[in-house]
Amino acid sequence: MAMSADHRTGLRPSTRVVSLGRPPHEDDAAVNPPITLSSTYVGTGAVASGSRGYGRYSNPTWDPFEEALADLEGAQVPGLLYGSGLAAIASALDLVAPGGTVVMPAHTYQGALLGAQETAATGRFDLVTVDIADTRQVVEALTEAQRATADLEHPRPVMLWLESPTNPMLEVADMPALIEAAHSRDAFVVADNTFATPLLQRPLSVGADVVVHSVTKYLAGHSDVVLGACVPATAEVRDLLLHHRSIQGAIAGPFEAWLGLRGLRTLALRVERSCANAQILADRLAEHPAVTAIRYPGLPDDPGHRVAAAQMDGFGAIISIDLGSAAAADRLVEQCRLWTPATSLGGVESLLERRRRHTAEPESVPEGLVRLSVGIEDVEDLWDDLTAGLAAAGS
């Protein structure tokens, strides 16, 4: 028989990532959900709400992942899977009122920031960027946005876009305080939870309206699939997102959805190991003479440590270090042999890159900043490779 929902809610997250989205426990049933390859579905008459109808509206292969992620985030309605993280971001941004205002971290993921900037340039909405770790500055921006949009007759005149920790500067937002301030000013809150994953942080539990993920990163976890997801807090918002996904065609392929769910099974193990490795490496990097600055919320003297410790169940597996110049950073990246020089993050393998090699990265990101995505390898091997690279960087 199938595991009951009441029984499942009593399980810890590290168990739920393994057990969610499974077929019922019946004799000779498959342990894993199958892949459904169909572009259309049998039906007559009007396509009612909830009907599969066509492959752009629904696919049975999406359902287990969408239900599992919603459970992990603490949502009461299923999530929505997209063809990429940016597709999910675009869908969430579309929720703000035409002529409204989006308040976004200055150091948010560059794809989200660039997408918001280009959309704002069309006049669709106004964009205000803030230091998301400066609660007073964010509240002031929300207050001004509320004044500027007072005449809009729309349920979402202002959107606060949260990302915490931020990419790549690892600033930490006081999420409960900012969400409360946003709602008191008629603002809708979207939180990008890619870095933390629902194992370390659950923004819906402190009032966020939608959570966004690049499933490509930690959730899938193996650098072999491109996917995104939105997890709304209400059925009303889910219907709006579903309509946008269906009409814009930002859908996931069934193979990608299946791979995403397979990757989710080991999320707890991967996050636990990566976070443990990151803490050890951050402690050592903080003392290394070639490192001029470091950001990692797990360091006691990091500016975001206190807030992160209060609202997260761990500090994540991303470290940012500044080597003082682009040349030094490039030497580090070129010298490393175990660490892979590549963009993206959250896979089992450790990656590093100088972020300003991307022309769209904000100028406020230091030229010498290297973002480290810490994987699950032996930490001493990772450290040996880093120290060899840092020796070259300092020469």
Domain ranges of the chain: 62-264, 267-393
Mean pLDDT confidence for 84-107: 98
Q: Supply the residues annotated as catalytic.
A: 56, 109, 192, 217
Cα 200–Cα 201–Cα 204 angle in degrees, nearest 5: 150
Q: Which run of H or E residues covers position 7?
A: helix 5-9
pLDDT digits (tens, 9 = 90+) for 267-288: 999 999 999 999 999 999 999 9
Mean pLDDT confidence for 370-386: 98
Mean pLDDT confidence for 186-212: 98
Asked if pLDDT for residue 175 goes beyond 90, the answer is: yes
pLDDT at 9: 61
pLDDT digits (tens, 9 = 90+) for 2-34: 333 444 568 999 999 999 999 999 999 999 999
Alpha carbon distance 212, 201 (integer Å): 13
pLDDT at 395: 67
Q: Is CATH 3.90.1150.10 correct for 267-393?
A: yes
pLDDT at 97: 97
Mean pLDDT confidence for 29-44: 93
pLDDT digits (tens, 9 = 90+) for 116-128: 999 999 999 999 9
Radius of gyration of the chain (CA): 21
Instruction: Report the CATH fold assignment for 62-264.
Output: Aspartate Aminotransferase; domain 2 (3.40.640)
Percent of the chain with pLDDT over 90: 93
Domains 62-264 and 267-393 agree in fold: no
Q: If we measure between CA atoms, which residue out of 184, 187, 185, 135 comes closest to residue 164?
A: 135
Q: What is the three-class DSSP state of 322?
A: strand
Beta strands in the chain (DSSP E): 80-82, 100-105, 125-130, 158-163, 187-192, 210-214, 228-232, 293-295, 318-322, 340-341, 351-354, 369-373
The neighbouring-strand residues paired with 104 are 129
Question: Which band of pLDDT confidence, cut at 50, 70 and 90, is reported for residue 90?
Answer: very high
pLDDT digits (tens, 9 = 90+) for 116-170: 999 999 999 999 999 999 999 999 999 999 999 999 999 999 999 999 999 999 9
pTM above 0.85, yes or no: yes
Alpha carbon distance 25, 42 (integer Å): 27
Alpha carbon distance 356, 168 (integer Å): 10
* 339 Cβ contact partners less than 8 Å away, ≥ 6 residues apart: 350, 351, 352, 372, 382, 385, 386, 389
Mean pLDDT of all residues in the chain?
A: 95
C-alpha distances (whole Å) from 378 to each of 44, 299, 312, 391 are 57, 21, 25, 20
Q: Which run of H or E residues covers position 178?
A: helix 175-184
